[in-house]
Each structure stands twice: as C-alpha cells, then as structure tokens.
Structure 1
C-alpha cells in the first residue's frame, strides 16, 4: 500500500481529507471538549504544532460536515451532527503591524465573515461589528454560534518587549474580543488558540469561566504527534525512513526520539513529537532541524536580551506552574516565554512539592537554540563557517584529540572580527559552553560543584570526561594548577571513564585563546 502524502504547509482539515493526505486523528479530543459543560476554551501551544489544523477540524465538525470524518474516531461518537453557524478568525496575519495596519486587518477579517451572513452595511467599531455578526448568525440560523479564533495573540507577540506599543495593540484586541463575554447567551462554543497567555486581554481578565486546557492531562496530546500515534498511524513511514537511512527500525525510532520527541504539556502528558519536524523528516527522508530552521521568533531573541539570559541558564530547572504557565506581560523572568514558545518543556513532576522539572525538549531544539545564541557571544560577527568549524571539532573530540579541537577553535576565533574588549571570564565560559553544547551528543555542564570549589566546565563524551578550567589574561598552566591543587578530578573518580584535565587561557585584547595545556 502506498504511503499517504504529507500535508506539509496545509492547515485546512477539509482540504487534507478531500485530497486524502495523512491525517493524525485528533477528533476524539474535539468530541470530548464539545460535550463538556464549558463554553469557552483556550489552548496554548508552540508555533507549527497543529493549532490551525485543530481549529479547521473543529470548524468542519461544527458545520456538520459528517462525510469528512468517515473512518475517524468521532464518526462512532457523534450521533446528531448538528450544523451550527461558525465564525472563524485567523489572527496569524496580524503580525508586525502598527495600530492603523491592525485596524485594516481586523476590518478585512470581519468583512470576510460579514459577506457570508449578508451584512452589507456594517456598523462602526470592530467590537460592534462582532456583536452584529454573532446576532445575525444567531437569528438567521436559529442556533447558537460557534466562534473560533486562531492565534489570538499574534498581533501582540512581536511587540511584547515594547511596553507602549504592546499596551496600544493589546487594548485594540481587548476591545475586539469583548463581545465574546457580552454575547454569552448566543454562543454554543468558543475556542481560542495562541502561544502565550496575555492576562490583560479581556478574554482572560473578564471571562472568568474560560477553561485553559493548555496544561490539562486530558488534552496533553491534542496537538503534536504522540508516541503511540507515531508507532501505530505512522508505522509504515518509519520503515520507509529506516530503509532510506540504512538503519534498523529500532535505530530509526531512537533517532526520531532524540531529535523530535521530548515534549510534555502536563504532569501526566504522553510523549509528544514535534509534528512539523516529524512530517518534514518523513517527507525528505533526512534528520534535519526543520522546526528551528523555519524561523526563530525575533520577539524571543529580543526578550532573551532584555532579561540578559545566559545560555547556561537555559537548561534543567525546577519551577511551580505559576512560574512558567504565566501571563507574558507580567514576566519577571524568561521562563514563561521559553516554555510557551516550545524551547523548554516539562520533563518531570513531583506531586508532593508540586514542582515541575523543565528542560530543553530534544537535540533539534538544543542545537538550534545554541546556534542562534552563539552570534551574541561572538560580538554579532559569527562567521558563516562557524557550524563547519564546530562539526570538525566534534569529529576531533570524538577521536580523543582535544588538542586538535582547540587548535581549530583558536583558528576559527581568529577569523571573527573582534570589537569590544571583554574583561569578564564568564563571557568566555558562556561562549565555550555554547560551542561545546553544539558538539554532537555530549553532556556539558558549568560551575560544577566539587568538595573544594567549582569547576568552570565539565564535558562527558562517549569515551572520556574533560575537566576544563578557564583563565583570563593569565596562563593555561595557572588554570591546570588550580585543577590539580583543588584535586577536582577526585570528584569524578567513579565516572568509569578516563579523565582529561584542560587548562585554557583567553586574551581579552584579542578575544581568542592565548594558550592551553592538557593533562591525561
């Protein structure tokens, strides 16, 4: 049997079903949500995680298009197939806009819906027009109205770091969404998706009965592809990829897991794979960084600068849900944005302390994030051959040739135009941490505690453990003496691998490695 084509770039359920492309069945979740006592629902998920497809699936369901659901879970669950009037607003096109542009965009979106309901002379004001739309749809159909708003926060995300602009656009969107509360009696179902939770948009501050399912165990697998879905609904795709990559099925599954798995959206979430990366990987038959290369949001990098985020801080941490499932505009740390954007995810939960463990989801995110951060630690002048140099370093370290790797790094850093004198040892520690973290498959940690002090960097490869101490404007021998004097190696005596001690000295006037010494 031929494999179904992948719906890459297609977010419309009706089109996917009519063209018989691959669809991972999420309809049981929709039935469940539509048959609870709630009316208003919000789901937050990272970009390209299938939110728009979910919304268009809901649209087809509430429009009663039973024929599109043949063979899916909901076919056996739904007995009535009532046709409701549906208002669907996709706000994803409202990015990078000022006040006037956003007003025009809302006008355009409202016009689309007004045409469907025969409104030729709309009233003034976006909120009044939405009230009118709901009333007209309700009266003409004789049924309560369904309102679906995809990426409700898109107009605000890009200005999250600019308070004045954020306040202005947020007030506009608050005004636009306000009828959703006012018209409650005429609404059957309201569903919003987004990346972040803006508390001061009316939907959250005024609608006290909105159900946020973003961290609900019951809906943890509603977007993305769960491990079970991958192994059952995409089993043949795995076999084809394995054949193409000349790997066993088990090796292929392990490779997919390392690169694209690792997302958890609640305390008891199943393993969730990134759907965009997974489908692209199956389509091209290559393990690439698809989600990350599709664009790092500018707002994220700007917010990381605003909060002065150190790369070493983007790693395993412990937090209460209030610290990361928090309104974006009230953030006192970068954690909520990293979690909501998909760069951190839940890796564990302790029900007694109610503490969540957060960490980078997988290899694709770790490599992609550090690659986008590296230019900041090379004065914004990251040479184009940086990824090549790092790949070559990885090969040398895998061959236990740390000396060759440091020579290569010294040569590479010598090609980077250097502007500012950095008399701060931590800067070089962060830079090396990023570079070593980009070396394939190695465990890297900084400021590692030992009985006699803290080590700058520790790196565990497949064959050996490296203890690395840095100095600035001194000499490498002084760094090595510190390792030996404080007997740092003893702390790792039981690691089961040979230990190499590496002293590195940087020169702040050149921003490069001056000398190094390695002791086995």
Structure 2
C-alpha cells in the first residue's frame, strides 16, 4: 500500500498505468505476482478474469518491472513487497526487452475497422522500440519489413508475423530473450462474435498468436489476459506449454481483485471502517480458487463516491452477451436464473472450454460463461465425475443482482403476450386495483414457476421490468429519494391527462399477512410523503398503490 498518514490519496479509478497509480493514488500492492511468475518458469501464462478486475494494471506493472529502459524504474518497486523477496528477484528488474500489446480498445462494429485498429496497435508497439528502427544490425528483409510497417503498407498476412518478427529483432539488438505481454487478447474476438465477423478475427488472431508464442526461440516468457479461454478454435494450437489460470484456480487468486484484508486496510486508511458491511453486501462475494475477492473497480469507485453504494461495475459495459443469452433462454434455464435472483443456489454442469459462438448452446455453456465473466460465483468446489464437471453456483452480491434485474426481468417482460400487457396498462390508466391484481396474478401463474420464497428485491425488479413497457408514456423512476425516504417505483406521466403512479412493495412469507402488508405499504407512501417531488412538479392527480406479494399471490391497497 502506498500512502502517508493523514494524507488521503484518491483511489485509482480507471487508471491502467502502474507508475501513475503508485505515484498519485492509493495502491494495493500486487507485486508478488512478479515473484510467482518468475518462480513458475511457465513459457506462457493465460489469466482469465472478469473485466475491470485489474488485469490491465497488472500487465502494465509487469512491463514496468521487467522492461529494460534508459530510466531506472526500480524506484517504483523499492517500497513494494517484491523488493523484499531478495537479490535474485531484484536482478530481474529492468533486465528484458518487452513487447506490450493491449487489445482492450479494439471494439468496432465490422472487421475492416477492427483490423485497422489491430494494425495500429501493432505499429504503435513497433514505434515504441525506437532503438531498432534505424539500427544497422538488421538484415535487408528486416529493414524492409520495418519500413513498410511504419508506412502502413504491410499485407494482412505479413501483419500476422508481426509478433514473431519484433521478437527476433529485439532479441538480436539486446542479445537477450524477450518478454511478451498481451492484454485482453479476446476483446476483438468477443466483438467479432457479437458483430458478425468472428471467423475473420479468429483466423487473424490464431496466426498472430501462434507466430509469437509457439516455437519462438526469442521468447523468455509470455503473459496473456482475457475473460475466456478460447481454446477449441485452436487459437493456441500446438502451444503445449500454455498454462491457463482461471477463477477456479487457487494459484494467483489474490492478484486480481481485492482480498478481504486489503479492503479492511483500505477502509481503515479512509477512516470508514463503519462501511465494511455495506462494502461486503455490494461488492464482495467472488470466489477465486478458495479466496474471497471484492470487485476492485467498484470498491475504488465506492470510496471515491463518498461511500455511497451504486452498481459501478454493471455500468461499465452494455452487457451485450447477457442480452444474447436472454434471447435464447429455455424455460428451465430461466427458472434457474430466477432462483438465483431469489438468493438461492443452483446445481449445474460446466464447460470451461466454452467459446463465444456456443455460449448459448446449453445450460453448461451459459452458466460457465456467467461464472467466468463474473456474473456468478462458485459456492462449493467443483465435483468431477466421469460424465463431466458439476458445481453449485450463486449470485455474488447486490451489484450483480442489479444486472439480473435489468436484463433477466426485461426478458421475462417480453414473454408476456399482448393481452396481458394491455391489461396491465389499462389497469394503471383506469386506476383499477382489482384489474391490476388479476393481471399480476395471471402473469405470475403462467410466466415462470419459481416465485415461492422470492424476496422484496425480486418483486421490485419484476415490477420495474413490467413497467418498462409503458416507458413511452411515463418517466419511470426506481428507488429515488422523495419526501422523508426512498420510494420503490413511480410512473410520472408525459402528458397531463394521465395520473401519476407511486408503488411501494412488500414481500411476506405467509399469505394471511398479504392484506395488512399491502396496507402498511400504502401507509408508508403517505407517512413518508413520497408524493412530494411529483407535487413539486405540479402533478395533482396521483394514484398510490401498496402491493404485497407472497409466492404467486398478490394483494393491493390503494
């Protein structure tokens, strides 16, 4: 950890520069990753972790440590854990030429633009090694390749040899084997799958990777990061010495994300030990190997946001793969997902070699992707049998539950037939509580089969998803402050001829409590003046609903 007492350094949010982070921000020391990589002697290591779990910062740390430069970068490690490991490890600092490539920003809608972006990323790395650009020690072919690389006139086939060629040139110049670091290698692959150019990108990446990592005599070692292990396409064909480290592996488990001790130390540094329970509820719950892990992106944002919880991680992506999964759900898989939303566990088989084109092929692929991508956590260790791998899974925390509320319940809403949706909108428009109750009961009886034991949060999400169908006529707001508290749901009309709607929800375990709980919810609307904001905006006609749920039963007070 870097920081002086009585001086609160900001958390590094979005910084992928190791030097900038340790100089200007609170840094959680992950430098022992360097020691473990050196000790392992693996030719190529692939780390698969969810997005925003510190992969890019870790790879940049490796670059700063290992790369031979004119500047003395040891100053950025002398107060870190790696420096206390001994002279053997300190001698590795600044000892290698390093190739560092990140594909994290290659996110385009077509192969032409994606390929151009990849070519520019590669060319920028060549230009970063200015020492070889005018060196007389290169042969004619190498000089020609470099010249055409700088001019951008290389063919696509020639670009697939760029990693191999740069490795050989750097080894020749420095008389030292090189280190290859490739960050977010599968970002262009995922984009190709989503946008329809998967075959083109996988072909290019296969040749590019194999050239630089397979049988490359100039390679000292390599490190790659990504979300999935893309193996069945033979992306790493013949790379027998590739070591894959995933969220299920104990080794290296503490180096991506924050451990409980690290979050406790951080909370003490900022004087917010009182927020540890809230941090745990919102951002803890991941399990890498057997180690409990917090989402580092969300924890950093939490402290920078005056310790107010929000779904920071879920807002960093459009969750396009999740939506693809939703479009292909079977009723059985949907029931399992709803069980997860209720805080329950599901047992499923896993396919850890899942590839993007087959993410939606079945339950094993869907749940494996959700696990690898950070949308699920293992509850117990995997059970290996003669017919496959099985695991018990659950949602990690409140933040991830928001993803399921927004995406899965949106899917559930779309399973409604037109008559049910029309009845729902008519009930709200007519302020007809009996019709609304009948419509909700019909929905819960026919749409899904797992409402028993559902939490208030689940029903809240369900009503938010159902109300989304009326977004062309209402401004829909959820869980906002108004009056003396936070209402559950309001629908503010876009035209003056329609009433505004306030809803408050309760979930009870016994059916006999439905009526009293619905009345309690309605009383809460009145007592806490949830209509304050609507009245301040000049809205006079406001319908108020206290709605209580028990399994597939519902009662409404209005």
Q: Is the 8 A contact 1:503 1:517 kept in 2?
A: no
Structure 1 equivalent of residue 224 of structure 2: 192
> Post-superposition shift, 1:412?
13
Q: 1:112 is matched with which residue: 121, 124, 127?
A: 124
Structure 2 equivalent of residue 465 of structure 1: 509
Q: 1:53 is matched with which residue: 43, 47, 57?
A: 57
Structure 2 equivalent of residue 231 of structure 1: 264
What CA distance in whole angstroms lies between the structure 1 residues aligned with 2:446 and 2:415? 17
Q: 2:191 is matched with which residue: 158, 162, 175?
A: 158
> Post-superposition shift, 1:223?
0.6
Larger deviation, residues 83-92 vs 287-296: 287-296
Q: Does residue 143 of structure 1 match 2:176? A: yes
Q: 1:284 is matched with which residue: 305, 316, 326?
A: 305
Q: Does residue 410 of structure 1 match 2:436? A: yes
Structure 2 equivalent of residue 349 of structure 1: 381
Q: 2:13 is matched with which residue: 8, 11, 18?
A: 8
Task: Within 5 Å, give how 1:376-395 maps onto structure 2.
Answer: 376-379=411-414
Q: Is the 8 A contact 2:508 2:549 kept in 1?
A: no
> Post-superposition shift, 1:216?
2.2
> Post-superposition shift, 1:129?
2.2
Structure 1 equivalent of residue 465 of structure 2: none
Structure 1 equivalent of residue 101 of structure 2: 89
What CA distance in whole angstroms lies between the structure 2 residues aligned with 1:181 and 1:350? 31
Q: Is the 8 A contact 2:302 2:310 kept in 1?
A: yes
Q: Is the 8 A contact 1:41 1:213 kept in 2?
A: yes
Q: 1:41 is matched with which residue: 25, 36, 45?
A: 45
Give the 3-state SS of the residue equivalent to 1:378 in structure 2. Answer: helix
Q: Is the 8 A contact 2:452 2:552 kept in 1?
A: no
Q: 2:161 is matched with which residue: 103, 125, 128?
A: 128
What CA distance in whole angstroms lies between the structure 1 residues aligned with 2:444 and 2:278? 39
Structure 2 equivalent of residue 317 of structure 1: 346
Aligned residues: 414
Structure 1 unaligned spans of 5+ = 243-248, 382-405, 415-421, 442-460, 469-499, 506-514
Give the 3-state SS of the residue equivalent to 1:349 in structure 2. Answer: coil
Larger deviation, residues 167-176 vs 228-237: 228-237
User: With structure 1 as the length reference, what TM-score do the two structures score?
Assistant: 0.71
Structure 2 equivalent of residue 30 of structure 1: 34
What CA distance in whole angstroms lies between the structure 2 residues aligned with 1:57 and 1:412? 59
Q: Is the 8 A contact 2:31 2:81 kept in 1?
A: yes
What CA distance in whole angstroms lies between the structure 1 residues aligned with 2:250 and 2:551? 48
Q: Does residue 257 of structure 1 match 2:247? A: no
Distance 1:110-1:311 versus aligned 2 partners, 3 A rule: same
Give the 3-state SS of the residue equivalent to 1:41 in structure 2. Answer: strand
Q: Is the 8 A contact 1:221 1:272 kept in 2?
A: yes
> Post-superposition shift, 1:181?
3.5
What CA distance in whole angstroms lies between the structure 1 residues aligned with 2:55 and 2:177? 24
Q: Does residue 306 of structure 1 match 2:328? A: yes
> Post-superposition shift, 1:97?
3.7
Larger deviation, residues 323-332 vs 355-364: 323-332
Q: Is the 8 A contact 2:253 2:288 kept in 1?
A: yes
Q: 1:358 is matched with which residue: 368, 382, 393?
A: 393
User: What is the CA deviation profile of residues 431-457 of structure 1, one whole-angstrom value per residue up to 9, with x for unaligned ones?
Assistant: 99988443589xxxxxxxxxxxxxxxx
Structure 2 equivalent of residue 179 of structure 1: 211
Aligned-CA RMSD value:
3.6
Q: Does residue 295 of structure 1 match 2:323? A: no
Give the 3-state SS of the residue equivalent to 1:358 in structure 2. Answer: strand
Q: Does residue 427 of structure 1 match 2:454? A: no
> Post-superposition shift, 1:35?
2.4
Larger deviation, residues 296-305 vs 187-196: 296-305
Q: 1:75 is matched with which residue: 64, 68, 83?
A: 83
Q: Is the 8 A contact 1:503 1:516 kept in 2?
A: no
Q: Is the 8 A contact 1:85 1:137 kept in 2?
A: yes
Distance 1:433-1:85 versus aligned 2 partners, 3 A rule: farther
Larger deviation, residues 36-45 vs 422-431: 422-431
> Post-superposition shift, 1:224?
0.6
What CA distance in whole angstroms lies between the structure 1 residues aligned with 2:435 and 2:448? 13
> Post-superposition shift, 1:38?
0.9
What CA distance in whole angstroms lies between the structure 2 residues aligned with 1:425 and 1:439? 14
What CA distance in whole angstroms lies between the structure 2 residues aligned with 1:294 and 1:344? 17
> Post-superposition shift, 1:340?
1.4
What CA distance in whole angstroms lies between the structure 1 residues aligned with 2:80 and 2:255? 15
> Post-superposition shift, 1:154?
0.5
What CA distance in whole angstroms lies between the structure 1 residues aligned with 2:377 and 2:65? 31
What CA distance in whole angstroms lies between the structure 2 residues aligned with 1:363 and 1:277? 12
Give the 3-state SS of the residue equivalent to 2:16 in structure 1. Answer: coil
